[in-house]
Amino acid sequence: MVKVAVMGYGTIGSGVVEILEKNAARIRKTSGEDLEVKYVLDVREFEGDPIHSKIVHDYQIIAKDPEIRVVVETMGGVEPAYTFVKAMLEAGKHVTTSNKALVADKGAELIALAKEKNVNFLFEASVGGGIPIIRPLMSSITGDEIVEISGIVNGTTNYMLTKMTNEGLAFDEVLKEAQAKGYAEKDPTADVEGYDACRKIAILTSIVCGQQVNYQDIHTEGITKITPTDIMYAKEMGRAIKLLATSRQTNDGYVAMVAPFLIPASHPLYNVNDVFNAIFVKGNMLGDSMFYGSGAGKLPTASAVVGDIVDMVKHMNMHITLNWDAEPVTLADYKTNETRFFVRTKASKEEISNTFGKVEFVDIEELADEIGFVTETMSESAYEEKAANLSSVLQMIRFH
Amino acid sequence: MVKVAVMGYGTIGSGVVEILEKNAARIRKTSGEDLEVKYVLDVREFEGDPIHSKIVHDYQIIAKDPEIRVVVETMGGVEPAYTFVKAMLEAGKHVTTSNKALVADKGAELIALAKEKNVNFLFEASVGGGIPIIRPLMSSITGDEIVEISGIVNGTTNYMLTKMTNEGLAFDEVLKEAQAKGYAEKDPTADVEGYDACRKIAILTSIVCGQQVNYQDIHTEGITKITPTDIMYAKEMGRAIKLLATSRQTNDGYVAMVAPFLIPASHPLYNVNDVFNAIFVKGNMLGDSMFYGSGAGKLPTASAVVGDIVDMVKHMNMHITLNWDAEPVTLADYKTNETRFFVRTKASKEEISNTFGKVEFVDIEELADEIGFVTETMSESAYEEKAANLSSVLQMIRFH
């Protein structure tokens, strides 16, 4: 019998408790142990709810109870989660978290502490919800140099872009609908400005290069400027607009970015729609691979947390080596990144050609007073220099 | 320094040696050790090749060398691979294999032997080539009841069906081309009759239910009867024909099958084309997920073998629990499986309706002397009973 504590009885924390109960037989089989939730840490009481008898308000009760071997952190945010998790690891308990903010900020430090204490700190649910991606990167694709990792890792924005694409709606309309359905929060900033995706690609890039990537160093653009007109052009080009969180290996190190990209129909990420997430991984030996599934939601995310619990129960006396050092890595400047750029402009074809040289024009009959074009492959800084010389830039979206 | 032996220097075995050399720095980082290939077992000499100095012909040299901690088996076939692998495990060495025939037949027994000897027997490369799927099922999706696992797990047939779909070619023409390109073997039986996919779904189902599934118990149909006319109907219905290896949980246990299925455009497997493989996994908590990538080929498959090597080096003194008992499981009879059936016939609409009740007709103008229809959901045995009463059945393909 392994006793478990859950810190934070919100959507995901309650999902973890639910799965541990509903799938107890399966979990006994895969972990080799019976699991019992002994404490749930929350500021609320949940009177009348069966969980009430397990509620505690002081994390020290958990830290000081030697019966507790496994702790689940599903509170979110850096503090007080960081203080609590640190105390649990120092007390020799295994910890799993779904908290991307905590992992992006303190991941390397908490892994080092777990190693020192010969316990585990796992965080499969922090990226891609229920999709197994952290463990495959840490334990499966370990013989490869990861040349690229690019993900649709925010379900809210993917739902919105899918709606805009399928129904021709504007950003504001779709946002309202997403909020009404509970897919977007009242303050949608973290999702629509790409901040959530930025934390997640910081975590993925840290794992891939084995060093600390600071999310503040990652160039981040959201989807607020995407319009139905952009989507008309995307369709004309046989592409889809997706908010990608992407890292590519270059001669100067990894270059990371969050931004809307135009993805061709032949790419596996093209068909990832609605609230689904997917992470595309290209290895120098493996080639292309993709991990697809529910990137958010109570039970899918809790499923990933429970997978971590089982793994920790199987490694109760052994630290699982995770290759992520605290030493910060210097990312390559995103302005050195080379790609093709799609641009909408009021400028004439002649002016465009004079400024950008060889381009592919994208002409949409209904749009009389503007034109689209796609540049040849060039660096971000070369693009900016040329674009500054163009009399009008209505929009720019990168090719992927 | 960990010394490794490779048994079988064919496509995959030589790929493993190549990756261990080319990605040595990365592998040192992820495994924490330097790896060196000390022996390569093969009947050939490879004179003039740098590998020549490592070639041995007697597996006992490897089994008796205490320096060898990790053995790679990439010979294929049940014997003599089984004898060799067993000897290595008995000598206390870790073993990874890419050999689906060996794993399907002897997996549970070799896992039990590895457990007894406190070493590991891993086989990520035996299904889906480079795609991480065995380890995600064993170590990640462990809190879920797996409701369904369905894969496109044979690259040869997927390439052929993609060609037939995109170019309207007949089976025989496409087979010749696939053979010319090296995607299909001279004797293509194992691929086109579904035997290869059958071994793979036996392995996946064994893992999912934790008991031995005998591949002989799995109803298996190949793609040899698929015609360009079938593909015309598939397109008319907005579906694609894919050879699926599939297992679904039912009240009577798992029902497993290999056969061509008609997959709707909304399903993530619909867009898996050419030689790519993908495995769709539905958990009762996770919901839908999919693992996509290169299902075959020298370096992708070898990449999965090397991932196993790294995992074994990280678990040098610990057996990783794999939930696959030798006790055989009784699969549910595939004739109890319920689905919709697409049928092509020369019978009249009236006769069809009299026999099958409510159906959806699929009428293709160019095909004057036949008609297609889709039944309501019914069991395989109910379908067979009705179909026996129809004056003509040109083709039947199941919906997925």
Q: Do A291 and B294 touch (CB under 8 A)?
A: no
Distance from first CA to last CA of chain B, Å, rounded? 50
Q: Do A318 and B318 touch (CB under 8 A)?
A: yes
- Which of A2, A33, A286 to mutate against chain B (most B CBs within 10 Å)? A286
Separation in Å, CA of B298 to nearest CA in chain A: 9
What are the percentages of helix, strand and coil residues in chain A, rounded to 5? 40, 25, 35
Scored b (16 or more CB within 10 A) or e, B378-393 reads bebebbeebbeebeee
- Which of B115, B142, B292, B299 to mutate against chain A (most A CBs within 10 Å)? B142
State how far the alpha carbon of A20 is from the alpha carbons of A34, A181, A210, B30, B141, in Å: 10, 28, 32, 32, 13
A229 token code pair: 């007109």
Question: Which residues, numbered 11 to 30 in chain A, qualify as contacts with chain B under a Cβ-Cβ cut-off of 8 Å?
Answer: 15, 19-20, 22-23, 26-27, 29-30
Q: Under 8 Å CB-to-CB from B171, ≥6 apart: which residues?
A: B160, B164, B223, B224, B226, B227
Separation in Å, CA of A141 to nearest CA in chain B: 6
Domains of chain B: 2-130+298-327 (3.40.50.720), 135-293 (3.30.360.10), 337-399 (3.30.70.260)
- Which of B6, B37, B140, B274 to mutate against chain A (most A CBs within 10 Å)? B140
B29 is annotated as an active-site residue: no
Question: What pLDDT, in 10s, does the model give residues B72-109?
Answer: 999 999 999 999 999 999 999 999 999 999 999 999 99
Separation in Å, CA of A130 to nearest CA in chain B: 6
Residue by residue, DSSP assigns A218-232 as SEE--STT--HHHHH
Chain B residues whose CB is inside 8 A of the A289 CB are: 130-132, 291-294
Q: Looking at the complex, does the CB of residue B191 fall below 8 Å from at least one CB of chain A?
A: no
What pLDDT does B182 receive? Answer: 87
3-state class (DSSP) for residue B47:
coil
- Tell me which residue of B282, B323, B315 sits closest to A33, measured CA to CA: B323
A280 token code pair: 């595309």
ipTM value? 0.96
What pLDDT does B187 receive? Answer: 96
Of B300, B311, B323, the CB nearest to A286: B300
CB pairs under 8 A between A and B: 199
- The pLDDT > 70 percentage for chain B reads 100
**Over chain A, what is the mean pLDDT?**
97
Of B132, B145, B270, the CB nearest to A23: B145
- Is the Cα dihedral A111, A112, A114, A120 positive or negative? positive
3-state class (DSSP) for residue B211:
strand
Whole-angstrom distance, CA of residue B379 vs CA of residue B192: 26
- Tell me which residue of B59, B57, B6 sits closest to B36, measured CA to CA: B6
Identify the active-site residue in A93, A106, A163, A200: A200
Q: Under 8 Å CB-to-CB from B290, ≥6 apart: which residues?
A: A290, A291, A292, A293, B268, B269, B278, B279, B280, B281
Asked if residues B289 and B265 have their Cβ atoms less than 8 Å apart, the reply is no
Whole-angstrom distance, CA of residue B355 vs CA of residue B343: 13
What pLDDT does A342 receive? Answer: 98
Chain B residues whose CB is inside 8 A of the A210 CB are: 29
Q: Do B314 and A321 touch (CB under 8 A)?
A: yes
**What value, to the nearest 5°, has the Cα angle with vertex A81 and ends A76 and A85?**
130
The secondary structure element, H or E, covering residue A172 is helix A171-180
Ramachandran category for residue B103: left, alpha or beta (phi over 0 → left; psi -120 to 50 → alpha): alpha
The secondary structure element, H or E, covering residue B41 is strand B35-41
Chain A residues whose CB is inside 8 A of the B300 CB are: 285-287
Whole-angstrom distance, CA of residue B129 vs CA of residue B142: 22
Q: Do A292 and B287 touch (CB under 8 A)?
A: no
Q: Do A292 and B292 touch (CB under 8 A)?
A: yes
**What value, to the nearest 5°, has the Cα angle with vertex B310 and ends B206 and B214?**
15
B168 token code pair: 């309207």
Q: Do B210 and A307 touch (CB under 8 A)?
A: no
Chain A residues whose CB is inside 8 A of the B142 CB are: 26-27, 30-31, 306-307, 310-311
B13 token code pair: 């075995």
Whole-angstrom distance, CA of residue B41 vs CA of residue B56: 5
B119 token code pair: 């070493």
State how far the alpha carbon of A302 is from the alpha carbons of A8, A54, A156, A305, B140, in Å: 12, 19, 18, 5, 12
| pLDDT band per the 50, 70, 90 thresholds, residue A182 | confident
Q: Looking at the complex, does the CB of residue A52 fall below 8 Å from at least one CB of chain B?
A: no
- Is the Cα dihedral A288, A293, A295, A299 positive or negative? negative
Q: Looking at the complex, does the CB of residue B335 fall below 8 Å from at least one CB of chain A?
A: no
Nearest CA in chain A to B321: A314
Q: Do A268 and B292 touch (CB under 8 A)?
A: yes
Q: Do A23 and B143 touch (CB under 8 A)?
A: yes
Of B124, B290, B307, the CB nearest to A293: B290
Q: What is the distance, to the nearest Å, from the Cα of residue A382 to the centroid of all Cα atoms in its chain?
A: 29
Q: Looking at the complex, does the CB of residue A188 fall below 8 Å from at least one CB of chain B?
A: no
Chain A residues whose CB is inside 8 A of the B132 CB are: 132, 136, 140-141, 289
Q: Letter for the amino acid at B124?
A: E
Question: What pLDDT, in 10s, does the model give residues B157-172?
Answer: 999 999 999 999 999 9
Q: Looking at the complex, does the CB of residue A321 fall below 8 Å from at least one CB of chain B?
A: yes
Of A139, A276, A285, the CB nearest to B19: A285
Identify the active-site residue in B54, B93, B100, B200: B200
Angle between the A298-314 and A11-22 helix axes, to the nearest 10 degrees? 60
State the residue for tokens 């290595």.
B88
> Is the predicted pLDDT of residue A108 greater than 90, yes or no?
yes
Q: Looking at the complex, does the CB of residue A311 fall below 8 Å from at least one CB of chain B?
A: yes
Asked if residues B62 and B7 have their Cβ atoms less than 8 Å apart, the reply is yes
Whole-angstrom distance, CA of residue B136 vs CA of residue B300: 17
Q: Residue A327 forms beta bridges with which residues? A: none
Residue range B180-206: mean pLDDT, rounded: 96
Asked if residues B342 and B204 have their Cβ atoms less than 8 Å apart, the reply is no
B154 token code pair: 């044979």
Q: Letter for the amino acid at A392?
A: S
- Which of A16, A134, A135, A139 to mutate against chain B (most B CBs within 10 Å)? A139
Q: What is the distance, to the nearest Å, from the Cα of residue B117 to the centroid of all Cα atoms in its chain?
A: 28
Separation in Å, CA of B27 to nearest CA in chain A: 5
Question: Which residues, numbered 229 to 268 in chain B, qualify as contacts with chain A under a Cβ-Cβ cut-off of 8 Å?
Answer: 268
| pLDDT band per the 50, 70, 90 thresholds, residue B296 | confident
Give the DSSP letter of residue B92. Answer: T
State how far the alpha carbon of B290 is from the alpha carbons of A39, B145, B206, B281, B282, in Å: 34, 16, 19, 6, 8
What pLDDT does B248 receive? Answer: 97
The secondary structure element, H or E, covering residue B235 is helix B228-236
Q: Looking at the complex, does the CB of residue B311 fall below 8 Å from at least one CB of chain A?
A: yes
A281 token code pair: 């991984």
Of A19, A268, A271, the CB nearest to B143: A19
| pLDDT band per the 50, 70, 90 thresholds, residue A194 | very high
State the residue for tokens 């070898």.
B302
Chain B residues whose CB is inside 8 A of the A270 CB are: 271
Chain B residues whose CB is inside 8 A of the A304 CB are: 140, 286
Chain B residues whose CB is inside 8 A of the A29 CB are: 210, 323
Give the DSSP letter of residue B334. Answer: G
Q: Looking at the complex, does the CB of residue A329 fall below 8 Å from at least one CB of chain B?
A: no
Whole-angstrom distance, CA of residue B367 vs CA of residue B365: 5
**What value, to the nearest 5°, has the Cα angle with vertex B136 and ends B135 and B141?**
135
- Which of A35, A140, A270, A319 to mutate against chain B (most B CBs within 10 Å)? A140
- Which of A11, A207, A266, A303 to mutate against chain B (most B CBs within 10 Å)? A303
A256 token code pair: 């990371």
Q: Do A144 and B303 touch (CB under 8 A)?
A: yes
Chain B residues whose CB is inside 8 A of the A142 CB are: 26-27, 30-31, 306-307, 310-311
Q: Do B289 and A132 touch (CB under 8 A)?
A: yes
Separation in Å, CA of A193 to nearest CA in chain B: 27
> Is the predicted pLDDT of residue A296 greater than 90, yes or no?
no
Question: What pLDDT, in 10s, does the model give residues B212-231?
Answer: 999 999 999 999 999 999 99
Whole-angstrom distance, CA of residue B72 vs CA of residue B15: 12
